[in-house]
Amino acid sequence: MATGGADKKSAPALPASNDIHATWEFLEGGIEVMMARLTEGMSYERYMQLYTAAYNYCISSGMGGASGIAAGAHLVGGELYSRIAHYFQQHLRATLTHLESLSGEALLRYYAAEWERYTNGANFVHRLLIYLNRHWVKHEREEGRTDVYTIYTLALIQWKRFVFAPLQTQRQLTNAVLDQIRIQRDGGVIQSSLLKTVLDSFVSLGIDDTDATRLNLDVYRTEFQQAFLETTMEYYKAESAAFVAQNSVTDYMRKAEARLMEEDDRVELYLQPSTRVPLGDVCREQLVTNHSALLWGQFKTLLENEMTADLSRMYSLLVQIPNGLDPLREQFEAHIKAEGLDSVARTVEEAPEQVDPARYVQALLRVYDHNMQTIETSFQSEAGMIAALDKACRAFINQNQATGRSTSKSPELLAKYIDGLLKKSNKGAEEASLETSLDQAMVVFKYIEDRDLFQKFYSKFLARRLVTFASASSDAEESMISKLKEVCGFEYTHKLQRMFTEVGLCRELNERFREAEANRGSGDDIDFYSLVLANGIWPLQAPSTDFSVPTELQGLYERFKEFYGAQHSRRVLTWLWHLSSNDVHANYLPRKHIFQTSTYQCAVLLLFNTHSVLTFDEIAAATRLETATLKAALLPLVKSKVLHELDDSYSLNMDFKSKKVRVNLQIPVRAEQKAESTEVMKTVEEDRKMLLQATIVRIMKARKTLKHNLLLPEVITQLQSRFQPKVPDIKKAIDALIEREFLQRVEGEKDVYVYAILHQLCVCGLD
């Protein structure tokens, strides 16, 4: 302690060690300085005399006075303990008298000042009597005396009994603290450190009777926290009701947010950390829960007006209460669905004749990107909001004005969009931007329900790109397949990957054929390249018409068949003339042009090397093409004015002009595209029937016996990654399997199926 104001007189003699009266008289003056006049200071010599006197008494020979308990020669101190307790009691009477005459802030100021002075002094006295604490007090407590404490704890006990308890008969301290908090809530300035000192005293007075060294929060909770929470509830109940009646919802949200932050700061300033949770519960109930319907009702308006900051504020408020976000998620889902349908409708209205795949996909992505940004900026990427976005996107992407009631249109349009990205005709597409576009396409893909249908279209378009050498980038093609594989697995992309492998093998085959031609010295000036493709891998159909190979190509055609047959004697080649293409050099025009044609168109044009005019029937007889196929081949030639059509006759346009050197005449007819879509749908329907049956057999083989209402969801779960099975289709598949004796109905239980063991044995025997 401080040494200022040291005693100038000679040091008094120490009292007799076994004389409690002399010892107390010697100690009392020093204790009074510590407790009441600490600022006067005390010399080190004086302090050591007091310490020695207390020490000598405690080790005296058992003459501890009437209250002393001699437990051996060195355990004396009961009388000294009693006098210290009495001193604290008498010392606090004057403090209580003065406190009872005060109220409000004055009461708190005096209480805090006296508390700090008293506890500081008691701490010095505690250290002065450290020997008493270590030996006599310890011994007494070990003997079961729970009413005996160390000196500092004793001081707190006395304060609680003779100051705190009398003051709290009418909750004077608590009310004074609550008044200060109310003033602060109303915008007034208070001394937070004052409240902290007072409330810390509440904590310090929570002495555990079973363990005097441990404090609890019982006093703080019963004497302050309970009343504080009640007044907080009443305050915010009244304030929020009044504020809502006179202000907008957005203004109220700002008010509620500010209040919640203030209360959180209040805990940091002067409340106990344990108050944070119950205080937060009370504030959220009054400020948020009780007005949640009002906030929910405003959500749609905020969304429509893109009020990002207010949306974020509403989210941060409602996320704090149970089920507070559920109505927002429902409204958000409905909003996204409506926005998506509207976006597609506007796109369809702009091009009602035919939906442009690029415009369609961009319309979908605009809605997704906009709402995902809202989730990230306003909803902190909350999982429930993302789930609402996913559900809404799945709804409007699979069925909208462009698709009608069908769920097959979106997979087709997405496949066409990706086909457009990966074609060479996608000019100006840099590698980085192309990769970004493919990533965006995968965003739409993850919401497609009929992924098997997408696979069929994508496979068909990929095959066409590879066959016509129209891919913009092999790396981009591989990247797209990797993305699909990551989402749908190896089986989904197995055939797609095999196509690339076969294209590589074809390069080697053509190199060998060129070498053979060079060695033979055939002399043909035709640049020939063939793709020999496996029938089960490529989604390619044999031509439906006969075809007479032009004389100009006949020799090369026969030599390649001979070359391939020599290497693979058991393989039969089916020539897909309708998929092959040719570059025909037009030497009859003043300016050189190269016509990019199909082989059928090439055959037609080569006829005009020896004829100036040909009728439709003459062309059909020469090429052996069926009528519909020939008309489809002639139509682009006539439209591009390469041929003149007069009645039923055709002739070369000797005045043909084009700004381009290379003129593409392979223009698909819309009717052909529609027929292609119909063909894909038929294939998918057949595949689905087989897949449904295979899935049911796999499930039943593992389960042996299963109820109908358990089999249905199991089938749907296993197949929903490829398409959404319909219950009637599943029932048809079950009936087909029963008819084929893969399944049997349990006798007497129509809704229970059993796997046909006899059929299983037959199959095993065949294996």
pLDDT digits (tens, 9 = 90+) for 21-57: 999 999 999 999 999 888 888 889 999 999 999 999 9
**Do 69 and 151 reside in the same domain of the chain?**
yes
In the prediction, which pLDDT does 430 show? 66
**Do 191 and 43 reside in the same domain of the chain?**
yes
Domain boundary at 226, 261, 280, which? Answer: 226
In the predicted model, what is the mean pLDDT of residues 117-140?
93
Q: Where would I find the H helices in 37-171?
A: 44-58, 78-99, 104-128, 130-131, 138-142, 151-159, 165-167
CB count, 10 Å around CB of 44? 10
In the prediction, which pLDDT does 256 show? 97
Longest dimension (CA), the chain: 147
Confidence of residue 90 (pLDDT cuts 50, 70, 90): very high
Specify whether the CB–CB gap between 556 and 526 falls below 8 A: yes
Domain membership flag for residue 326: no
Give kind and range of the element (H or E) at residue 568.
none
CB count, 10 Å around CB of 449? 21
In the predicted model, what is the mean pLDDT of residues 330-356?
90
CATH value at residue 71: 1.20.1310.10
**Do 659 and 732 reside in the same domain of the chain?**
no
In the predicted model, what is the mean pLDDT of residues 244-270?
96
pLDDT over 80 at 749, yes or no: no
In the prediction, which pLDDT does 634 show? 92
Residue with tokens 């101190």: 77
Confidence of residue 729 (pLDDT cuts 50, 70, 90): confident
In the prediction, which pLDDT does 68 show? 39
What is the gyration radius of the CA atoms in the chain, in angstroms?
47
**Do 171 and 99 reside in the same domain of the chain?**
yes
In the prediction, which pLDDT does 7 show? 45
In the predicted model, what is the mean pLDDT of residues 553-563?
87
**Identity of the amino acid at 580:** S
pLDDT over 50 at 767, yes or no: no
In the prediction, which pLDDT does 417 show? 95
**Do 615 and 758 reside in the same domain of the chain?**
no
DSSP one-letter string for 617-632:
HHHHHHH---HHHHHH
Domain membership flag for residue 723: yes
CA dihedral (446, 347, 670, 472) positive or negative: negative
Domain boundary at 210, 226, 242, which? Answer: 226
User: Cα(390)–Cα(384) distance, rounded to whole angstroms?
Assistant: 10
Sheet-wide strand order for 643-646? 613-615, 649-652, 643-646
**Do 210 and 66 reside in the same domain of the chain?**
yes
pLDDT over 60 at 132, yes or no: yes
**Do 659 and 740 reside in the same domain of the chain?**
no
Domain membership flag for residue 585: yes
Residue with tokens 């992407």: 397
CATH value at residue 683: 1.10.10.10
Between residues 683 and 300, the one the model is more confident about:
300
Domain membership flag for residue 700: yes
Reported as a single tens digit per residue, the pLDDT across 141-190 is 888 888 899 999 999 999 999 999 999 999 999 999 999 999 999 999 99
Specify whether the CB–CB gap between 472 and 429 falls below 8 A: yes
**Do 636 and 750 reside in the same domain of the chain?**
no
Confidence of residue 233 (pLDDT cuts 50, 70, 90): very high
In the prediction, which pLDDT does 756 show? 77
For 117, the domain range is: 20-226
pLDDT over 70 at 667, yes or no: yes
CB count, 10 Å around CB of 174? 21
Q: How many domains does the chain fold into?
A: 3
Domain boundary at 171, 200, 226, which? Answer: 226
Helix axes 78-99, 151-159, angle to 10 degrees: 30
pLDDT over 80 at 9, yes or no: no
**Do 644 and 683 reside in the same domain of the chain?**
no
In the prediction, which pLDDT does 427 show? 59
| Share of the chain residues as helix, strand and coil, in percent rounded to the nearest 5 | 65, 5, 30
Q: 256 in helix, strand or coil? A: helix
Q: Please calculate the CA angle 422-423-425 and round it to the nearest 5 degrees.
A: 135
Antiparallel, parallel or unpaired: β 643-646 and 649-652: antiparallel
Between residues 452 and 267, the one the model is more confident about:
267
**Do 744 and 634 reside in the same domain of the chain?**
no
In the prediction, which pLDDT does 670 show? 52
Domain membership flag for residue 474: no
Domain membership flag for residue 125: yes
Percentage of the chain surpassing pLDDT 90?
A: 56
**Identity of the amino acid at 149:** Y
pLDDT over 50 at 111, yes or no: yes
Reported as a single tens digit per residue, the pLDDT across 61-82 is 544 333 333 344 346 889 999 9
In the predicted model, what is the mean pLDDT of residues 353-382?
94
Give kind and range of the element (H or E) at residue 598.
strand 593-598
Domain membership flag for residue 182: yes
Query: What integer best gives the mean pLDDT of the chain?
Result: 88
In the prediction, which pLDDT does 626 show? 93
In the predicted model, what is the mean pLDDT of residues 646-665?
90
CA 665 to the chain's CA centroid: 50
Antiparallel, parallel or unpaired: β 749-755 and 743-746: antiparallel
pLDDT over 80 at 468, yes or no: yes
Sheet-wide strand order for 581-586? 581-586, 593-598, 662-664
